[in-house]
Every structure is written in structure tokens, then in C-alpha cells.
Amino acid sequence: MGVVKSAIGDMLMTFSWVVLSSTFGIQTAAIISAGDLQGITWAPLVILTLMIFVYVSIFTVIFGGASFNPTGSAAFYVAGIPGDTLFSLAIRLPAQAVGAAGGALAIMEFIPEKYKHMISGPSLQVDVHTGAIAETVLSFGITFAVLLIILRGPRRLLAKTFLLALATISFVVAGSKYTGPAMNPAIAFGWAYMYSSHNTWDHVYVYWISSFVGALSAALLFRSIFPPPRPQKKKQKKA
């Protein structure tokens, strides 16, 4: 039952994040217009960073230990962090993909027509091999940064969340001209399902295989630098 609850939490969180994050462009444009910030080049990045910080903080309170990124869940397992097993990952990861597909379908169904051109997900901007390399490097970088921030970063939760927001924006900007970027197979799957490209080799190669290769490589490197503590053996009592 614990695994099922975790999977349901993951599905709901991923659904909610896809719906919310797809409107970041709309929200940013509205804030810039309301604050008369047009022409200020750094304004969109600052606004987006603060939005991610606020929303991730809210999601942490609402969903607790749920996750919306399959590579993140797998990376924590490979890094030796207690919590998941191969069985629980086999249940949670598909739930995240289902939640993402539901979120993409829902937002495109209910968003007003005038805003639909501002809604989009990750998409390949280069040839497939370049995209795969980019997604591998980006997934490696964001995964190592997340592990470092969460496990070795500041103790205060708000400080961790702010650093995560900064790291996310940095890698999104770096990968925007290559793969979108996704750095999250579930979210990439959700939007690919929306456009019926979820079962193509390009999608699987770039957004699943490459993302997992990058994320798990980062987890292995992190584990080699910061080995998890070994469980202490119980001393047998002498008769």
C-alpha cells in the first residue's frame, strides 16, 4: 500500500506540475506587463526563477516526498539514498509518465484558445544525435546539482529550494536551443503523447535513454565522491 500511495502522489504531483509549468510563459508575460518591465532583459529570468522557487516550495508542502521526475527518483536510488527499491521504482515511474500525459491533455483542453500558442513542451531543435548528447549532459548536470544541493547543501529548506530554482533555470537556458530542454522523461513523454510522437525512436533515444544515462552517471559519480554510510552490523550477544 505504501508503494501505491507513493505512485498516486507522484502521478498527482506530475499532473499538477505539467499543468502549472506550462503556464509559466503566460504568467511571466502578465507580470512583465503589469509591472511595466518591458525591455528589461533580465526580468523574465528573475521572474521565472522566483516562480519556480515559490511553486516548488508549495508543492513540497502539499505533496511531501512525491516526485515528478523519473530520472531523479532513479538517481537517488543509485546514489544509495534509502527510500526506494527497484520494485517501487517500477511502479512510480510509469505513474509519473501517466500524470504528465494527463496534465498535457488537460491544459490543452481547458486553456483559452488565445493562450494556446504560448503553451508548449520540450521539443528537439537540432539533429537527433546532437539532441541526445545535449540531453545527456544537461541531465548529468542538473542531477548532480540536485544531489549536491539536497544532500550536501544548506540545511534550511528555503535555501535548498532557491538553489534548486537557480540550477533549474541555468540548465533550462543552456539547453533551450537543443532539446527544450526536458531533463525529465515523464514531462517529455506527456507532451510527446499530446502530439502522438511518444512512440518514436527519436523521443525514446533523446528524452528517455539519454536522460537516464546522464542522470545515472551523475548519481554514480556522486556516490563515488560521497559514499553512503554503511549499515552497522548488530553485535551478537554472548550466551
pTM flag (> 0.75)? yes
pLDDT of 68 strictly over 70: yes
Check residue 235 and give its pLDDT. Answer: 57
Between CA 165 and CA 208, with CA 116 as vertex, the angle to 5 degrees is 50
Q: Is 239 among the domain residues?
A: no
d(CA 188, CA 1): 28
Query: Is residue 38 over pLDDT 90?
Result: no
pLDDT digits (tens, 9 = 90+) for 169-208: 999 999 999 998 889 999 999 999 998 998 899 999 999 9
- Write the CATH number for 134: 1.20.1080.10
Report which residue type is found at 132.
A
What band does 128 get if pLDDT is binned at 50, 70 and 90? very high
Q: Is residue 231 in some structural domain?
A: no
**Under 8 Å between Cβ of 209 and 169:** no
What's the pLDDT at 31? 94
Q: Is residue 69 part of a domain?
A: yes
145 within a domain of the structure (yes/no): yes
Number of domains in the chain: 1
Q: Which pLDDT value is given to residue 233? A: 62
How many Å from the N-terminal Cα to the C-terminal Cα in the chain?
40
pLDDT at 237 over 60: no
Give me the pLDDT at residue 187, please.
94
pLDDT for the residue numbered 13: 96
Q: Which of 130, 131, 139 is nearest to 214 (CA)?
A: 139
User: Within 10 Å of residue 234's Cβ, how many Cβ atoms?
Assistant: 6
Residues spanned by the domain of 42: 3-225
Q: At what angle do helices 70-78 and 128-152 cross, to 10 degrees?
A: 60
> Apex CA 103: angle with CA 102 and CA 104, to 5°?
95
Whether the pLDDT of residue 238 is over 60: the answer is no
Burial of 150 (0-12, 13-18, 19+ CB in 10 A): middle
Confidence label for 232 from pLDDT (cuts 50, 70 and 90): low
Q: Which residue has the cell 501517466?
A: 98
- Residue closest to 184 by CA, chosen among 210, 207, 216: 207
Burial call 155-178: b when 16+ CB within 10 Å, e when fewer: eeeeebbbbbbebbbebbeebeeb
